[in-house]
Amino acid sequence: MNIKRIRTKRDHEAVLGEIERLMTAKRHTPDGDRLDTLTKLVEDYEKGALKSVATKSELARLKAAARATGIKSRTD
C-alpha cells in the first residue's frame, strides 16, 4: 500500500486495515514510522469528515429555522 492522502471511505477502510496489521510494530522502525504516518492521515481524514457532517447539520438547522419563521430562500 502506497502512502497517500485519504479521500474516500474506501481509502479510509483500507488504511484502517493496514494500521491494524501494523499495530505491533516497534517504534523507530520502518513499520513503526509507517504506522505513525497512517495514523496521522486517518486523524486528518476523520477530522475533515466530522467537520463536513457538522456543517451539513448546521445548514439543516438553519433551513428548518428559516422555514419555521416563514423566511424564503432566493430559490423558493
Whether 58 is covered by a domain: the verdict is yes
pLDDT at residue number 47: 86
The mean pLDDT of the chain is 84
Tell me the whole-structure pTM to 2 decimals.
0.64
The answer to the question of residue 18 being in a domain is: yes
Decide if 56 is inside a domain: yes
As a whole number of angstroms, the distance between CA 39 and CA 37 comes to 5
On whether residue 16 sits in a domain, the answer given is: yes
Residues 33-69 pLDDT 10s: 999 999 999 999 988 876 665 666 777 777 777 778 7
- Asked if the structure places residue 43 within a domain, the reply is yes
* Averaged pLDDT for residues 5-28: 94
Number of domains in the chain: 1
Angstrom distance (rounded) from CA 34 to CA 18: 9
* pLDDT score for 52: 64
